[in-house]
Structure 1
Amino acid sequence: MMKRLRDMYPNAYGVCVFDAKGPTFRHDAYPDYKANRPPMPEELVAQIEPIHQAMSFFGWPIVMMEGVEADDVIGTLATQASLKNWSTIIATGDKDMAQLVNERVTLINTMSNESLTVQGVLDKFGVRPDQIIDYLALMGDAVDNVPGVDKVGPKTAVKWLTQYQTLEGVIAHAEEIKGVVGDNLRKSLDWLPKGRELLTIKCDVDLSEVVGDCKEQLGSKMIMQVHDELVFEVPDHEVEVLKAKIPQIMSEVLPLKVPVLVEVGVGDNWEQAH
């Protein structure tokens, strides 16, 4: 996915954002936030640091910030870019991110080739990007353990937001809504503002100490991995620079019990490089 993004946007600024360890302000506000999630399997935990190292090695600045989620960092970066009239592409499959879409922010899912613009969000969810938070608040988010209105799914949420436009509008007209879902809505009135708060991506995180230059660092592309050998495709003018860097960087990739001998071969094809 990361290689494809670089190929699609070779001259763009880029950053890779990960969740930091520990609780966030959402856990402080609601202790049951994400409490339904099982611990990450150890085999996945062991892969996190190598992934971070690989991303950094191939020119992706890594950002992690304690106390907030990766979504909040991304939301802040996208907001800052929009204020500068920059276009932003967010690579994600997370529906929550649809709340960030505007005329300058687009979501892409490189796994499904889906692209969500303002119209794309409306076509997919039935509501505008500025209504996504209210849409999610009404339904709840089982993945994050955030309750919504019982028995309210996408169709009902879209119906209410089409008629009343906002969550505040739905709450204001709660007495008019009949049936079981109307009763459930009225039971949820005290909770809904809190649920909305938990599902709102924070777009004003102070990133002054964690975000530097997001330009590509090496310009190299990892095109395959074969056993213990890495194969790169690089522009001719970068060959000598990369050749000099690889032995040092590879020796630091993972803590190993034995020294690793790193040999670098350069050629126009596999045979010449060996």
Structure 2
Amino acid sequence: MLLLVDGSSYLYRAFHAMPDLRAVPGDPNSAPTGALRGIINMLQSLRKDYPAMHLACVFDAPGPTFRDALYPQYKANRSPMPDDLRAQIEPIHEVVRLLGWPLLHVPEVEADDVIGTLAKRAADQGWRVIISSGDKDLSQLVNEHITIIDTMNGKVRDVAGVTAEFGVPPSRMIDFQALVGDTVDNVPGVNKVGPKTAAKWLQTYGDLDALVAKASEVTGVVGENLRQALDWLPTARQLVTIRTDCDLSQALPTWPGLEALAGASPDLDALTAFAERFGFRGLMKSLQASASGEAGGKSTSPAATR
């Protein structure tokens, strides 16, 4: 089994879900720790619930990606990363490695593309793949080998789950997303076309290419909007398509093999020093207990952070 974590997605979610926690409680000038604590708890829970031999936590790399070159307005609507979250990036990367997780961030592509490439490679070898993420964009990767879980709300997206949620199977999610667009990433879709209309069209015509070929048959305002969007839709489809063919040889010395994703034993001494540095008083013992259980092939429940 391969366990993949969408680290970039969880960074923001943990930051906004946790209170304004500090290394020194009550001191606003000390290091912020809310997202850091949230990520630690999530990784501990995942290794307990999904004891995979191969795993990776994947983050976006700094700098533009191929999507920015394709569409300069891509993600242009996003606010800058909050300073208190930016200050936690390096400590999060540090503790991910200390907990024994391989960490990947690959220039010029997004974390989703790295996850997609790793998931496809493992699935092609018959491995079970668990992706931990709350990002619906990853639904296009789901198949009989690949399942998405969201540890923050317990949602599971397998083939049946994706189909029930969106009205189309995972194999049509790229077409679905191209039609509805993605407001989070600033990717326009067809004006006034929402999930229900997009699903209905794909159920009727089969796929986006067939819909485009018969666009003249679609009536009403949405039909006119579809025809106005025909020149844009190929670009939209490129933007929402997660790559599964990234060259990961610079990040993984064994690529295309997955041996470099073997989980390591947590570094207990370094974890203790790390916990002391960030004021994780109640977390030090739980980190050691959890790490000891993982190293010994046992599972322990992560204690609540204090």
Superposition TM-score, scaled by structure 2 size: 0.74
Q: Which moved more, 1:209-218 or 1:182-191?
A: 209-218
1:10 pairs with one of 40, 43, 51 = 51
Q: 1:207 to 1:236 in 2, by over 3 A?
A: closer
Aligned sequence identity (%) = 50
| Matched residue, 1:263 | none
| Matched residue, 1:137 | 178
Q: Which amino acid aligns with 2:213?
A: A
Q: Which amino acid aligns with 1:73?
A: V
Q: Distance in 2 between matches of 1:45 and 1:129?
A: 34
Output aligned runs, 1:186-205, within 5 Å.
Answer: 186-205=227-246
Q: Report how far residue 192 of structure 1 moved.
A: 0.3
| Matched residue, 1:216 | 263
Q: Tell which has more relative contact order, 1 or 2 (C-alpha 8 A, sep 6+).
A: 2
Q: Distance in 1 between matches of 2:51 and 2:172?
A: 33
Output aligned runs, 1:1-274, within 5 Å.
Answer: 1-212=42-253, 213-219=260-266, 227=279, 229=281, 230-231=284-285, 232-233=288-289, 234-235=291-292
Q: Which moved more, 1:209-218 or 1:197-206?
A: 209-218
Q: Which amino acid aligns with 1:172?
A: A
Q: Which moved more, 1:189-198 or 1:209-218?
A: 209-218
SS in structure 1 at match of 2:54: coil
SS in structure 1 at match of 2:119: helix
Whether contact under 8 Å (2:265, 2:294) holds in the other structure is: no
Q: Distance in 2 between matches of 1:47 and 1:162?
A: 44
Aligned positions, number: 239
Higher helix share: 2
Q: Report how far residue 238 of structure 1 moved.
A: 6.1
SS in structure 2 at match of 1:89: strand
Q: Which amino acid aligns with 1:47?
A: Q
TM-align CA RMSD: 2.1
Q: 1:124 to 1:44 in 2, by over 3 A?
A: same
Q: Report how far residue 94 of structure 1 moved.
A: 0.4
Q: Report how far residue 211 of structure 1 moved.
A: 2.1
Q: 1:131 to 1:228 in 2, by over 3 A?
A: closer
- CA deviation digits over 1:14-67, x for unaligned, max 9? 100000000000001111111111111111111100000010000111100100
Q: Which amino acid aligns with 1:124?
A: E
Q: Distance in 2 between matches of 1:216 and 1:198?
A: 32
Q: Report how far residue 228 of structure 1 moved.
A: 5.0
Q: Distance in 1 between matches of 2:99 and 2:206?
A: 45
| Matched residue, 2:17 | none
Q: Report how far residue 208 of structure 1 moved.
A: 1.4
Whether contact under 8 Å (2:61, 2:105) holds in the other structure is: yes
SS in structure 2 at match of 1:113: coil
Q: Which moved more, 1:208-217 or 1:180-189?
A: 208-217
SS in structure 2 at match of 1:106: strand
Q: Distance in 1 between matches of 2:107 and 2:154?
A: 31
Gap regions ≥5 residues in structure 2: 1-41, 254-259, 297-306
Whether contact under 8 Å (2:59, 2:105) holds in the other structure is: yes
Q: Which amino acid aligns with 2:231?
A: D
Q: Select the structure of larger CA radius of gyration.
A: 1
Superposition TM-score, scaled by structure 1 size: 0.83
Whether contact under 8 Å (2:98, 2:266) holds in the other structure is: no
Q: Distance in 2 between matches of 1:203 and 1:177?
A: 33
